[in-house]
Amino acid sequence: MKCQKSVLFVLEGNLINSPGVTLVPGCPAPLIRMRYHKLVSPVLMWALAAFGVSYFFLYYPPAYVFEPNAVSASLLALAIGNWLYFFWAAVRANPQAHRSAASIRALVTSGPYALVRHPLYSADIILVWCMFLFYPAMRMLYSSLWVTLVLSYWVLLEERALTDRFGPKYRKYKKEVPMLVPKIFRPRKR
């Protein structure tokens, strides 16, 4: 039997042989590739976000981009309401929603997950930008950009982990539901 290049995946600490690959005695050991499930930790994500925000608040002056006004205060209040609703609805629909992708046991496509694939990240990004509108200083602008970049990167990592975990079901879900910006007006299915 010929030796073939094989790949073993490490998923949550367990070795999983790739489909159709058999280990042959006398052949070189298979390549081991780590899956991204353990990397998608909300604690690490928020630590990176907090580090960046702290840096910008410590080293950038509070120069205003524009003057704050009543509209920005109203937008912040709406964003806080939006965040509270999405957090409550997401955790109610999926109790593992606020944990890492590795702890998610089932694909949830109802509730806020029918509007957007990542309702918590979406609400966080909206909240951080409304905070900038409420406190329109350069340091807050840089902080909002930083948090948006960190969350966007983490969304991509989580997408990869969820695609690995749920396969074709998640790919179908990705085609039907937007990632971060909800489709408010969708055409009705007939």
pLDDT tens digits, residue range 26-78? Answer: 665 544 444 445 556 788 888 999 999 999 999 998 899 998 889 989 999 99
Summary count for the chain: helices (H), strands (E):
5, 3
Phi, psi of 32 (to 5 degrees): -105, 125
Most confident of 13-17, 165-169, 180-184: 165-169
**Residues across the chain:** 190
pLDDT > 50? residue 9: no
The CATH number fitting domain 38-176, selected from 1.10.3080.10, 3.10.450.50, 1.20.120.1630, 1.10.357.10 = 1.20.120.1630
Residue entry with tokens 């991204």: 36
What is the DSSP pairing of strand 14-17 with strand 31-34?
unpaired
Domain extents for the chain? 1-34, 38-176
Model-level pTM? 0.74
Beta-carbon neighbour count of residue 84 at 10 Å?
12
Query: Using CA atoms, how far apart are residues 25 and 67, in angstroms rounded to an integer?
Result: 72
